[in-house]
Structure 1
Amino acid sequence: MRRLRSLLLCSVLGLGAVGLAGGSAGAATFRWANDGDVNAMDPATRQETVQLSFLSNIYEPLARRKADLTLEPALATSWEQISPTVWRFKLRQGVKWQDGSPFTADDVLFSLKRIQEPTSSLRAPMSVVKEARKVDDDTVDFETVAPDPIFPQEQTNLLIMSKAWCEAHNATVPAIIGKDDNYALHNAMGTGPYRLVSREPDRKTVVERNTGWWDKPVGNADRVELLVIASAPTRVAALLSGEVDMVYAVPPQDMARIRQTDGLQILQTPELRTIFLGLNQYRTELPSSDIKGKNPFKDQRVRRAVQLAIDEQAIASKVMLGLGRPTNIMWGPGVNGYNAALDVRPKPDPAEAKKLLADAGYPNGFKVTLDCPNDRYVMDEQICTAIVPMLARIGIKIDLNAQTKTKFFTKILGPNYDTDFYMLGWTPSTYDAHNVLFTILGTRDGKRGEVNSAGYSNPELDTLTEKIGVEANQTRRNDMIRQTIKIMQNDVGYIPLHQQVIVWATRKNVQVVQPADNFFPYRFIEVK
């Protein structure tokens, strides 16, 4: 706590200094506080919104999202499909890396190869690429293994890195967070609107405007400081006292107080992210369970019992104070393939859940560990805490393992997949159901199912996913997506919980863009 107070005091003094030195309308320092940190500076190490959002201010893709989430050119000025399986991208000329060297097609080919390495956690979006070819310094062709109608949409998280910079720092292959180490985990050098100035993990990360950026910023933030303040009361206090300009996440119980404070405002919008439970169906025995010799979660009746024991409406209304929308689909409104008619959760039924457990051979229930982050999603630990007594009512005794997202992601995601039962959230980067089907629901095979920590597998769903990936007719495509929803709901392969609401709180002299994908593009920040 003393360290936090010292940090916040430094922030206050720094803010005052900026107010005197940077009072012109054309320049400003912006400080914001988050409950968790960016995991690493390497964009190929984790498919996680906070990390990719932060790094997209330093690194850039070929195509990026505008404020309204529509696609627009970035490091590529245009693209076209020159054959059913070949997409041609014309690269932007005159772009410089932040060290002054030129951006070329070699960097694109290198970044693709790097992201396809076994140690990368972003292989899935680019797994459709059979080969990338350099036509000239400003043109790249991507050949896909099959026709891919949404290939440009899949480019937005392919953040391009400098081939020469990675080679010079022995970082040509991504390091696995928590196991390996390299220069790119702690340093960054991109083409984007901001450059990394300083990095203090779990404390403070600072970026400043890249004056050599090829594009023109919309906002006026010359310097952005990200402060990590894990304590919700301390984070809110920092906003109320003027020590920071914005906080995320905002505790639901503090929203009314912030709204009633002069000079502050609440920003909230429905998010594309779906929060869900994963139940390990891959292991022959759950290490954290008292059932030996078999895995209860392999039985569909047990998974259905878990679903029927959970009162999601109570979680959304009482725990999240209305900041959750209950769902029974792994993707929500705003994602192509969402089907409102099928989005109906079964009513909680503890009696039926107990019967299902008894029929499956577990009349007395069993013990299992639930892995949960405590600094990533809206009320994440509180949600998991609420689930514990709900499952206890049917005899499933939960050992709750709530931890920081850095430890949580390292544990449950690949290559470890070390979890029996967990809560996770996912925003499809393409805003299309295929991303969820391929990345989370598909059988793990080294490319597909990269974030399928549950080890769920259904060959019929895999076949439909492959067909959806190449089908250009939208009607036929959505009909197949509808079939996958029914398969998932019948299998209870995962248990969707809700789509959460994004809640930020800012000072009223600040203007920011709050996209539904929960990215935070610094180039739009305006401090008045």
Structure 2
Amino acid sequence: MKFKPNHLAVGVLLALSATAFVANAQTVRIANQGDTMSLDPHSLNESLQLSVTGNAYEGLVGHDKKLGLTPALATSWKQTSPTVWRFELRKGVLFHDGTPFTADDVLFSLARATGDGSDMKSYTNDIKEVRKVNDHTVDIETLTPFPILPDVLSLVYIMSKKWCETNQATKPVDRRKGIENAASFRANGTGPYRVRERQPNVKTTFVRNGSYWGKIEGNVQEVVFTPIGNDATRVAALLSGEVDLMEPVPVQDIERVNASPTNKVLTGPELRTIFLGMDQKRDELLFSSVKGKNPFKDKRVRQAFYQAIDIAGIQRTVMRGASRPTALMVGPGINGWTAEQDKRLPYDPDAAKKLLTDAGYPNGFEVTMNCPNDRYVNDGRICQTVAANLARIGVKINLAVETKNTYFPKILRRDTSFYMLGWTPATYDAHNALNALMACVDDKGAGQFNLGSYCNPKVDELTKKIQSETDKAKRTAMIKEAFELHANDIGHLPLHQQTLAWGLNKKLDVVQRADNFLDFKWISVK
């Protein structure tokens, strides 16, 4: 069958052609299946958004090519007491508009990231107070000892207090409510690249920051980031030379791209875990045929769903081997993961059917499942397969698949009964997943992405102890216990860790981080 692009795809390719470099070999055109939803660095805790905006904004600390912690806007940090961290700030740093970076910007940004509308509260929920010592020194006091605070702050990007006040952007863009402000469409950070132009869902153009405080190793002067949702169009754009780098490469096209004389696929394990969540709080589900009660409050129902999912089949037919089935909410590479615990319950439709019958649903029930179709590798197809698996035990899934631009605001409002999510712990430590995904939900940021409101007070108690424990053996034992409790509860339905697949022109040198962040400063054109 001959591929026939739709009108949108043609428009995307024309837009890419218009930005194609004729003589300038230092322009790089990047395509992704989705767009960053905003330029506001506090508006959405999603890795694509943080990766893209992280080229214009920076945190107090950053990560090197191997994900080690490295100085960024802070040159050093130390604990002055068990609950106080002192950060020495970098001098001579300018925001893109020429405003000097000072301690006032740190105080403002951490308060902004904690405020209404922020999606970064799970990173700041244990900060008690931020104090200015002088123009280039701040103290951050936490509620309890917090030995991994520098790691936690790596994705809390610093904004200009003056710029936000001048542009009425003192509060984050609230994606749940559809509220926008100047920070949605403009960026004023300290990072190695400036935003020159932003056209949502069309393209975002970055240019090299000539006044950057640090070293930019690559030679790229301009980056044009374009969303191309259609897999075939994205692959065609790479093979035709319309784009220089794109991701993800559909698993079925990896061999084809590698066979191209000018392109290759860069693959590697990703730290992200893909899982399904269920509303375990409401007395009646919002979107289900069951009235007067919530079937997901019954562990037998949750376990039935788990054991009805043929994860090996998904790995084989949907992911074509480019995934690693998991029983945990974190994978290899995350501190606290152990192979010993990473053993899934067996796929067993008969056992699942019996569990449903024992729970009082011998004929199953209907429930709506919310899924994105442009965020994770083969996300829509995974959800279709899960729906087909569940049909075998009598559960009718009403599948609601949509672009992440509308999907995330919906599920972040908890306007869902059954949903898909992916998570990469920003600290590369199990505490991050425990605090954001498994902790009982509060109004300060704990459980901010626990969208089904799973709650086990014992897991909460362990999570708080894990945060402050400095003895590695004790801490590891507590992580293991917390994971065991969550697994026994069937708190979520973990699926797999997906494999990274970036397609790129062979003339590019790039650094592929396991958290799927792409740093423009490390891209070079040969």
Instruction: Provide TM-score, normalisation by structure 2.
Output: 0.97
1:263 Cα deviation from its structure 2 partner: 1.2
| Aligned position for 2:493 | 495
| Aligned position for 1:426 | 423
Equivalent residue runs for 1:160-175 within 5 Å = 160-175=158-173
Pick the aligned partner of 2:155 from 150, 154, 157. 157
| Aligned position for 1:2 | 7
Equivalent residue runs for 1:446-525 within 5 Å = 446=443, 447-525=445-523
Asked if 1:195 corresponds to 2:198, the answer is: no
Equivalent residue runs for 1:35-434 within 5 Å = 35-177=33-175, 178-413=177-412, 416-434=413-431
**1:421 alignment partner AA:** F
**2:14 alignment partner AA:** L
Give the conservation status (yes or no) of the 8 Å contact 2:265–2:501. Answer: yes
Give the conservation status (yes or no) of the 8 Å contact 1:327–1:497. Answer: yes
**1:225 alignment partner AA:** V
Asked if 1:12 corresponds to 2:13, the answer is: no
Cα shift readout 1:26-79 (whole Å, capped 9, x = no counterpart): xx0000111111011101111100000011100110100001100100000000
1:486 Cα deviation from its structure 2 partner: 0.9
Give the conservation status (yes or no) of the 8 Å contact 2:370–2:399. Answer: yes
1:210 Cα deviation from its structure 2 partner: 0.8
Q: What stretches of structure 2 of length at least 5 have no aligned partner? A: 1-5
Give the conservation status (yes or no) of the 8 Å contact 1:68–1:515. Answer: yes
Q: How far apart, in 2, do the equivalents of 1:257 and 1:338 lie?
A: 35
Cα shift readout 1:435-480 (whole Å, capped 9, x = no counterpart): 0000110000112100010110001100011110110001000000
Q: How far apart, in 2, do the equivalents of 1:281 and 1:159 lie?
A: 33
Q: How far apart, in 2, do the equivalents of 1:131 and 1:507 lie?
A: 48
Give the conservation status (yes or no) of the 8 Å contact 1:12–1:242. Answer: no
Tell me: CA distance 1:339–1:231, structure 2 relative to 1, closer, same or farther (3 Å).
same
Cα shift readout 1:280-315 (whole Å, capped 9, x = no counterpart): 101111121111000000000000000000011110
3-state SS, counterpart of residue 253 of structure 2: helix
Q: How far apart, in 1, do the equivalents of 2:197 and 2:19 lie?
A: 15
Q: How far apart, in 1, do the equivalents of 2:135 and 2:453 lie?
A: 42
| Aligned position for 1:31 | 29
Q: How far apart, in 1, do the equivalents of 2:243 and 2:419 lie?
A: 33
Give the conservation status (yes or no) of the 8 Å contact 2:296–2:302. Answer: yes
**1:105 alignment partner AA:** A
Instruction: Provide TM-score, normalisation by structure 1.
Output: 0.97
**2:432 alignment partner AA:** N
Give the conservation status (yes or no) of the 8 Å contact 1:428–1:435. Answer: yes
Q: How far apart, in 2, do the equivalents of 1:181 and 1:391 lie?
A: 39
Q: How far apart, in 2, do the equivalents of 1:99 and 1:336 lie?
A: 39
3-state SS, counterpart of residue 130 of structure 2: strand
| Aligned position for 2:3 | none
Give the conservation status (yes or no) of the 8 Å contact 1:160–1:190. Answer: yes
Q: How far apart, in 1, do the equivalents of 2:312 and 2:404 lie?
A: 25
3-state SS, counterpart of residue 396 of structure 2: strand
Give the conservation status (yes or no) of the 8 Å contact 2:335–2:429. Answer: yes
1:86 Cα deviation from its structure 2 partner: 0.6
1:10 Cα deviation from its structure 2 partner: 4.1
1:377 Cα deviation from its structure 2 partner: 0.4
Cα shift readout 1:357-380 (whole Å, capped 9, x = no counterpart): 111111111000010000000100
Which moves more between the two structures, 209-218 or 169-178?
Answer: 169-178
Aligned length: 519
Give the conservation status (yes or no) of the 8 Å contact 1:444–1:450. Answer: yes
Give the conservation status (yes or no) of the 8 Å contact 1:270–1:501. Answer: yes
Give the conservation status (yes or no) of the 8 Å contact 2:173–2:179. Answer: yes
Give the conservation status (yes or no) of the 8 Å contact 1:277–1:423. Answer: yes
**1:37 alignment partner AA:** D
1:155 Cα deviation from its structure 2 partner: 1.3
Cα shift readout 1:398-418 (whole Å, capped 9, x = no counterpart): 0011100111100001xx111
Give the conservation status (yes or no) of the 8 Å contact 2:43–2:172. Answer: yes
Q: How far apart, in 1, do the equivalents of 2:227 and 2:414 lie?
A: 27
Q: How far apart, in 2, do the equivalents of 1:9 and 1:119 lie?
A: 36
Q: What stretches of structure 1 of length at least 5 have no aligned partner? A: none
**1:443 alignment partner AA:** C
Q: How far apart, in 2, do the equivalents of 1:109 and 1:220 lie?
A: 34
Give the conservation status (yes or no) of the 8 Å contact 2:9–2:230. Answer: no
1:3 Cα deviation from its structure 2 partner: 4.3
3-state SS, counterpart of residue 465 of structure 2: helix
Give the conservation status (yes or no) of the 8 Å contact 2:12–2:228. Answer: no
1:203 Cα deviation from its structure 2 partner: 1.0
Q: How far apart, in 1, do the equivalents of 2:98 and 2:341 lie?
A: 53
Cα shift readout 1:307-341 (whole Å, capped 9, x = no counterpart): 00001111012110011100000000000000110
Cα shift readout 1:80-102 (whole Å, capped 9, x = no counterpart): 11111110000000001111110
Give the conservation status (yes or no) of the 8 Å contact 1:285–1:294. Answer: yes
1:185 Cα deviation from its structure 2 partner: 1.3
Q: How far apart, in 2, do the equivalents of 1:3 and 1:148 lie?
A: 49
Identity percentage of aligned residues? 49
Q: How far apart, in 2, do the equivalents of 1:212 and 1:502 lie?
A: 33
**2:439 alignment partner AA:** G
Tell me: CA distance 1:390–1:3, structure 2 relative to 1, closer, same or farther (3 Å).
closer
1:183 Cα deviation from its structure 2 partner: 1.0
Report the aligned-residue RMSD. Answer: 0.9
Q: How far apart, in 2, do the equivalents of 1:106 and 1:342 lie?
A: 45
Q: How far apart, in 2, do the equivalents of 1:515 and 1:228 lie?
A: 20
**1:341 alignment partner AA:** E
Q: How far apart, in 1, do the equivalents of 2:249 and 2:100 lie?
A: 41
Q: How far apart, in 2, do the equivalents of 1:5 and 1:378 lie?
A: 23
